[in-house]
């Protein structure tokens, strides 16, 4: 990093001039070397590219995440489902640009070196290309056609008006780039030895090769409605590649960027801003809890109704929400009904509940236990959360947690205010094996699909457990010594085996049902990656209407049939003064996109890879 001079600052500041005379001495040595200003450190640029790699930034979560969850029906608004759940998301900036900036900085720096010196950085450059490819796939999921091949190059003589590349062409480019990167990772010699600059894999090129090979499965999965034979061919190539695919925690693209960074703590902790509260749907929670799936404890928060809170309400003759009382065993003490024990699965399972998905029932007395705030209030000062929201500490490291206490215990304040460097999950062994299970079913290989499926579910549970441990989420490893019935959420011995014994977690040879099970597990695994979750629901038609496993709620009677739920983000009219005005309009026209997202438009105007995919709730149409 110390060798890195002026290029990076100039690029970011637009070439600002340093003219103050007091700086002359400080820059005297630099100014005497004509070539020093353009000499950067490729390894520093790699480190910065990894820091800037961020498919799920704060703005993405704030503006779009809830809408994706509503489309796939993993979440419900706090006021109940209304027509707002079909409003759709807004197109944001392209994520790949942040990394592509560094890719072209590296290319420029290498062009200034002697060829034999530049050749030592082939693997380093390939790492950044893999990161850019990952974000390119993400951007096309989100936006359709994007600027890519001509983007981020203006400062090196490129255009200020880059063309839009078609998704189909980009998939071909991504596959070619990944193959090239794999070759370089596995065969290049005399390479610069990376260590601390690579916080993902510590310079282990075998693991980068596995990631590159595994990424090809993402593309194959997105091609099933446009060219299934090509998709199958990609999967066959991935399986036969000598570098292999992700196979265990050491291979997973799951990492922490840094412990601290004083100039931008978002690199260490993701964001200091609060994220929108995403409340779980009851169908998703009931499915997870009913199957004793440990991931419910890592993906979602416990509600606030611990045994002491329940007991306080009972002792004061105040009503406890009915769905909570279903799991409460009581006893009478001094003429008062009191909490005795949890029924059913007990702690921690009884603390997870979701909102009903029924339409516009926020003011319906029959649903007051869920939606009426008075049914969660002890008095004007004490209110308790009844349902489970997405666990925010799995998404950012600066969240303070306060243990819920009963009204009589106001003097007791138990908090966890530690800022924890954030660990993010981007692609893992579980995702790889879920794709392999899916494609094995397309080839009618049930036994092989079951092996992949079992491995995927086990890996997903273990990955979420690891992530919860690393991010130190509430109740992981400690109960805070307040409620004697409180239980930790840590993964326990035998839980994976119990889960894999559940009917919903086994493939049986019924192809339609087996595909549905695989897609549902993909959706669950992507709970912390809503774009991936959205894409999976979009391409699979799952959850299915009238499913015996996990059914989609049908709002057709409420004038919201499946064909009005969005399948892409909305786009806005460019300003006539925008240099990209003509290019943007041309991209909209070629894709058939309008800029007025009236009801149903974001469903009928589909991105290329989504054309021919099943409607929401229809179930898989590729067999």
User: Residue 551, SS3?
Assistant: strand
pLDDT of residue 31: 40
The pTM score is 0.93
* Radius of gyration (C-alpha) of the chain in whole angstroms: 26
Cα 595 from chain centroid (whole Å): 27
Task: Yes or no: say if 275 and 392 are a contact pair by the CB < 8 Å rule.
Answer: yes
Cα 395 from chain centroid (whole Å): 9
Instruction: Name the band, by pLDDT with cuts 50, 70 and 90, for residue 401.
Output: very high
The residue written with tokens 């009801």 in the block is 599
Instruction: Name the band, by pLDDT with cuts 50, 70 and 90, for residue 90.
Output: confident
Instruction: Name the band, by pLDDT with cuts 50, 70 and 90, for residue 39.
Output: low
pLDDT of residue 475: 98
pLDDT of residue 11: 36
Instruction: Name the band, by pLDDT with cuts 50, 70 and 90, for residue 260.
Output: confident
Task: Yes or no: say if 269 and 422 are a contact pair by the CB < 8 Å rule.
Answer: yes
- Is pLDDT above 70 for 544? yes
Task: Yes or no: say if 148 and 170 are a contact pair by the CB < 8 Å rule.
Answer: yes
pLDDT of residue 16: 29
- 479-518 pLDDT tens trace: 999 999 999 999 999 999 999 999 999 999 999 999 999 9
- Is pLDDT above 80 for 579? yes
Residues in contact with 76: Cβ distance below 8 Å, sequence separation at least 6, in sequence order: 70, 279, 280, 281, 282, 354, 355, 356, 357
- Is pLDDT above 90 for 34? no
What phi and psi, each to the nearest 5 degrees, are found at residue 584? -65, -45
Average pLDDT of 433-449? 98
CA distances from 407 to 351, 378, 380, 383, 509 (A): 19, 8, 11, 9, 54
- Is pLDDT above 60 for 255? yes
Instruction: Name the band, by pLDDT with cuts 50, 70 and 90, for residue 36.
Output: very low
Q: Enter the tokens of residue 544.
A: 């299915």
User: How far is the first Cα of the chain from the last one, in angstroms, to the nearest whole number?
Assistant: 52
Task: Yes or no: say if 550 and 287 are a contact pair by the CB < 8 Å rule.
Answer: yes
The residue written with tokens 């794709």 in the block is 435
- 354-374 pLDDT tens trace: 999 999 999 999 999 999 999
Q: Enter the tokens of residue 586.
A: 């041309």
Residues in contact with 324: Cβ distance below 8 Å, sequence separation at least 6, in sequence order: 303, 305, 310, 350, 353, 386
Task: Yes or no: say if 2 and 197 are a contact pair by the CB < 8 Å rule.
Answer: no
User: Residue 260, SS3?
Assistant: coil
CATH numbers and ranges of domains, the chain: 7-82+90-226 (1.25.40)
| Alpha carbon distance 605, 584 (integer Å) | 16
- 318-330 pLDDT tens trace: 999 999 999 999 9
Residues in contact with 53: Cβ distance below 8 Å, sequence separation at least 6, in sequence order: 98, 99, 131, 134, 135
| Alpha carbon distance 404, 612 (integer Å) | 49
Instruction: Name the band, by pLDDT with cuts 50, 70 and 90, for residue 2.
Output: very low
CA distances from 141 to 119, 419, 561, 567 (A): 34, 32, 23, 10
What phi and psi, each to the nearest 5 degrees, are found at residue 195? -135, -95
- 163-198 pLDDT tens trace: 999 999 999 999 999 999 999 999 999 999 998 899
pLDDT of residue 91: 79
> Of the ranges 23-32, 86-95, 405-414, 416-425, which one carries the lowest mean pLDDT score?
23-32
- 98-116 pLDDT tens trace: 999 999 999 999 999 999 9
As a whole number, the mean pLDDT across the chain is 92
Instruction: Name the band, by pLDDT with cuts 50, 70 and 90, for residue 265.
Output: confident
Helix axes 96-111 and 42-52, enclosed angle (nearest 10): 180
* 511 DSSP assignment: H
- 266-307 pLDDT tens trace: 899 999 899 999 999 999 999 999 999 999 999 999 999 999
What phi and psi, each to the nearest 5 degrees, are found at residue 286? -60, -35
List the one residue out of 367, 400, 407, 409 whose CA is nearest residue 386. 367
Cα angle: 257, vertex 263, 267; to 5 degrees: 20
User: Residue 330, SS3?
Assistant: strand
Sign of the alpha-carbon torsion through 438, 443, 446, 448: negative
Instruction: Name the band, by pLDDT with cuts 50, 70 and 90, for residue 17.
Output: very low
Instruction: Name the band, by pLDDT with cuts 50, 70 and 90, for residue 142.
Output: confident
- Count of Cβ atoms closer than 10 Å to residue 107 Cβ: 17
pLDDT of residue 262: 65
Buried/exposed 240-275: b ≥16 CB within 10 Å, e otherwise: ebebebbeeeebbbbbbbbeeeeeebbbbbbbeeeb
Residues in contact with 351: Cβ distance below 8 Å, sequence separation at least 6, in sequence order: 302, 303, 305, 306, 388
Give start and end residues of each alpha helix (H) in 261-392.
Answer: 266-269, 282-290, 295-299, 307-315, 322-325, 368-371
User: Residue 555, SS3?
Assistant: strand
- Is pLDDT above 50 for 250? yes
């Amino acid at each position: 990093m110390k060798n890195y001079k002026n290029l990076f600052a100039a690029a970011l500041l637009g070439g600002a001039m340093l003219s103050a005379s007091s700086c002359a001495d400080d820059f005297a040595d630099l100014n005497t070397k004509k070539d020093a200003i353009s000499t950067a450190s490729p390894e520093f640029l790699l480190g910065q590219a990894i820091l800037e790699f961020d498919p799920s930034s704060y703005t993405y979560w704030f503006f779009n995440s809830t809408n994706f969850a509503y489309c796939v029906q993993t979440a419900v608004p706090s006021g109940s489902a209304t027509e707002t759940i079909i409003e759709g998301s807004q197109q944001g900036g392209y994520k790949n640009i942040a990394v592509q900036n560094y890719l072209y900085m590296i290319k420029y720096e290498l062009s200034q070196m002697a060829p034999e010196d530049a050749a030592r950085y082939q693997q380093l450059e390939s790492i950044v290309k893999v990161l850019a490819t990952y974000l390119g796939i993400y951007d096309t999921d989100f936006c359709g056609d994007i600027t890519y091949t001509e983007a981020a190059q203006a400062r090196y003589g490129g255009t200020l008006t880059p063309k839009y590349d078609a998704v189909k062409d980009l998939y071909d480019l991504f596959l070619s780039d990944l193959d090239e990167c794999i070759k370089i990772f596995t065969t290049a010699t005399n390479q610069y030895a990376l260590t601390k600059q690579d916080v993902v894999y510590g310079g282990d090129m075998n693991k980068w090769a596995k990631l590159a090979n595994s990424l090809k499965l993402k593309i194959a999965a997105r091609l099933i409605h446009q060219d299934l034979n090509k998709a199958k061919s990609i999967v066959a190539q991935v399986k036969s590649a000598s570098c292999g695919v992700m196979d265990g925690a050491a291979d997973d693209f799951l990492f922490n960027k840094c412990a601290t960074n004083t100039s931008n703590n978002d690199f260490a902790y993701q964001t200091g801003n609060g994220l929108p509260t995403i409340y779980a749907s009851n169908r998703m929670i009931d499915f997870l809890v009913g199957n004793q799936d440990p991931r419910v404890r890592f993906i979602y928060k416990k509600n606030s109704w611990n045994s002491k809170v329940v007991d306080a309400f009972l002792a004061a003759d105040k009503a406890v929400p009915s769905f909570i009382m279903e799991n409460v065993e009581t006893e009478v003490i001094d003429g008062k009904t009191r909490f005795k024990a949890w029924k059913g699965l007990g702690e921690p399972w009884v603390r997870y509940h979701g909102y009903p998905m029924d339409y516009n029932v926020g003011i319906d007395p029959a649903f007051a236990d869920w939606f009426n705030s008075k049914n969660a209030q002890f008095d004007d000062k004490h209110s308790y959360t009844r349902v489970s929201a997405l666990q925010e500490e799995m998404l950012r490291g600066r969240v303070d947690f306060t243990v819920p206490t009963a009204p009589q215990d106001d003097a007791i304040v138990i908090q966890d205010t530690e800022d924890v460097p954030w660990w993010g999950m981007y692609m893992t062994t579980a995702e790889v094996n879920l794709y392999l299970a899916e494609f094995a079913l397309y080839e009618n290989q049930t036994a092989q699909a079951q092996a992949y499926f079992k491995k995927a579910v086990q890996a997903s549970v273990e990955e979420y457990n690891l992530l919860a441990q690393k991010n130190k989420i509430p109740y992981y490893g400690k109960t805070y010594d307040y409620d004697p019935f409180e239980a930790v959420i840590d993964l326990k011995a035998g839980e994976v085996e119990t889960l894999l014994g559940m009917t919903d977690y086994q493939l049986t040879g019924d192809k339609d049902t087996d595909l549905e099970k695989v897609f549902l597990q993909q959706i669950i695994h992507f709970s912390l990656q809503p774009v991936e979750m959205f894409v999976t629901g979009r391409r699979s038609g799952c959850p299915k209407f009238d499913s015996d496993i996990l059914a989609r709620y049908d709002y057709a009677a409420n004038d919201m049939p499946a064909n009005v739920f969005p399948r892409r983000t909305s786009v806005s009219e460019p300003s006539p003064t925008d240099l990209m005005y003509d290019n943007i309009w041309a991209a909209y026209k070629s894709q058939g996109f309008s800029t007025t997202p009236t009801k149903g438009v974001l469903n009928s105007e589909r991105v290329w890879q989504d054309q021919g995919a099943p409607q929401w709730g229809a179930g898989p149409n590729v067999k």
